[in-house]
């Protein structure tokens, strides 16, 4: 199969969905000039009615997208760095997820919000977060977190076709990663985990860029500890069964989450596994997350973010 880069996979999803459905359009800052390569070529192809450069008005364009979605369109809102979503918190966390519910299910809000997530580039707190927990704390919005080009394309297409608001985090460290992506149309259902590597000793649940780190560690430990890497691909909806099935086999669970540890997805999953699969566990569940600090820039970043060393140590600590 052909291999393409992660950003190219997103770009293809846009093109195919915009061609399939003329109500789909893209809105954000400097998209026409393609400040990130996933919007390259779209303005020339679809014109300025469907690739909209907005002023730096996050609250206004996110709110507008909610209304546009309610009234017949399917906006994809690109927030550039996902950290900027805080400037439109009301629109993204209160309006998009809750409007349908608060109006008795009378309207749908099929909007996709997306942004560059994660650290590793020493850009400091306002350009490095992956705020999954904040999204998960707002029932009513789904969350897609692709770790490969294949998932990036399939999940974006599903996100665009979904009748609900979807937050889509793409990871800066994955932007140039290549992987197999079929040429023909495909989608990936939300809420279906993918076992990225099979193993028998320890289950590692990781998402987004952390999947790549987990796979690196799993490879390193080959022959010593057999690590199974489970990638949920969406955190809402979440495939708990896939995790329980894996833990049934390994009896050990490490959760890798690049978001801040306190009240994280990792914490939530740990609670769910204790609740539903307590008897499956032979060892305490370990979480490897960002430390409870703002993400610093420069050399300090590595002390806060998860790393292969920290993941390896956690795996070893349960693989007695």
Partner 1 sequence: MNDDDFVFPAVRGHGLPHLISKGVDPKYYLAEHCGKSTGSCGGVSTYHNIDTEHGFFGLAGTLGTGFPISVGYGMTSKWNGKQQVVVSCFGDGTSNRGTLHESFLMAANWKLPIVWVCENNQLSMYVPVKDHHPVENIADLAFGYGMPGEVVDGQDVVAVAKAVDKAVARARAGEGPSLIECKTERFVTHSIGLPDRIDLEDRTKDDYVELKKRDPVVLFQEKLLKEGVLTQKEMERIDQEIAVEIDAAEAFADAGSPPDPSVLDDYLYAK
Ligand X SMILES: Cc1ncc(C[n+]2csc(CCOP(=O)(O)OP(=O)(O)O)c2C)c(N)n1
Backbone angles phi, psi at 72, to 5 degrees: 115, -5
From the list ligand X, partner 1, none, pick the one residue 309 interacts with, judged by a Cβ distance below 5 to 8 Å according to partner type.
Answer: none
List contacts with ligand X (CB under 6 A): 29, 56, 58, 80, 84, 87
> Which residue of 122, 197, 245, 276 would you call a contact of partner 1, by CB under 8 A?
122
304 binds partner 1 (CB under 8 A): yes
The answer for residues whose C-beta is within 8 angstroms of residue 57's C-beta and 6 or more apart is: none
Q: 38 catalytic, yes or no?
A: no
Q: How far is the CB of 40 from ligand X (least distance, A)?
A: 18
Q: How far is the CB of 44 from partner 1 (least distance, A)?
A: 7
> What ranges make up the beta strands (E) of the chain?
3-5, 24-28, 51-53, 74-81, 112-117, 142-144, 166-171, 178-180, 194-197, 202-206, 227-231, 234-236, 253-260, 286-290
Structure tokens at 178: 């290549």
Catalytic residue among 7, 38, 103, 127: 127
**Smaller CB separation from partner 1, 273 or 304:** 304
**Smaller CB separation from ligand X, 116 or 235:** 116
Q: What is the DSSP string of 258-312?
A: EEESTT-HHHHHHHHHHHHHGGG-SS--EEEEE-SS---BGGGHHHHS--HHHHH
307 binds partner 1 (CB under 8 A): no
Task: Give dist(CA 114, CA 131) in Å, integer.
Answer: 12
> Which residue of 20, 22, 33, 189 would you call a contact of partner 1, by CB under 8 A?
33
CA-wise closest residue to 170 among 39, 82, 49: 82
Structure tokens at 190: 């939300």
90 binds partner 1 (CB under 8 A): no
Q: How far is the CB of 86 from partner 1 (least distance, A)?
A: 7
**Smaller CB separation from ligand X, 46 or 61:** 61
> Which residue of 59, 271, 274, 308 would you call a contact of partner 1, by CB under 8 A?
59
182 binds partner 1 (CB under 8 A): no
Task: Give dist(CA 147, CA 1) in Å, integer.
Answer: 18
Q: Which residues are catalytic, by number? A: 127
Applying CB under 8 A, which residues contact partner 1? 29-30, 32-35, 43-44, 53-57, 59-60, 83-84, 86-87, 122-127, 291, 293-294, 296-300, 303-304
């Amino acid at each position: 199969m052909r291999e393409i880069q992660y950003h190219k996979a997103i770009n293809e999803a846009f093109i195919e969905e915009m061609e399939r459905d003329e109500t789909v359009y893209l809105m954000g800052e400097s998209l026409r000039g393609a400040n990130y390569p996933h919007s390259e070529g779209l303005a020339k192809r679809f014109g300025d009615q469907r690739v909209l450069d907005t002023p730096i008005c996050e609250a206004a364009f996110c709110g507008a997208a909610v209304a546009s979605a309610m009234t017949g369109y399917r906006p994809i809102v690109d927030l550039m760095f996902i950290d900027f979503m805080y400037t439109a918190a009301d629109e993204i966390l209160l309006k998009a997820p809750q409007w349908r519910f608060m109006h008795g299910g009378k309207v749908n809000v099929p909007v996709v919000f997306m942004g560059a997530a994660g650290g590793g580039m020493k850009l400091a707190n306002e350009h490095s977060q992956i705020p999954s927990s904040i999204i998960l704390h707002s029932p009513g919005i789904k969350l897609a977190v692709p770790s490969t080009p294949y998932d990036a394309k399939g999940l974006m297409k599903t996100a665009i076709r979904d009748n609900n608001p979807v937050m889509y985090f793409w990871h800066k460290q994955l932007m140039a990663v290549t992987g197999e992506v079929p040429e023909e149309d495909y989608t990936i259902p939300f809420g279906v985990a993918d076992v990225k590597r099979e193993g028998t000793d320890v289950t590692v649940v990781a998402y987004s860029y952390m999947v790549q780190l987990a796979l690196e560690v799993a490879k390193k430990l080959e022959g010593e500890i057999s690590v199974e890497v489970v990638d949920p691909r969406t955190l809402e909806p979440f495939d708990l069964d896939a995790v329980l099935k894996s833990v049934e086999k390994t009896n050990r669970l490490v959760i890798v989450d690049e978001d801040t540890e306190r009240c994280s997805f990792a914490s939530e999953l740990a609670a769910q596994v204790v609740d539903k699969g307590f008897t499956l566990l032979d060892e305490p569940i370990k979480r490897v997350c960002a430390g409870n600090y703002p993400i610093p820039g420069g050399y300090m970043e590595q002390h806060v973010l998860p790393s292969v060393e920290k993941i390896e140590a956690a795996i070893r600590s349960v693989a007695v």
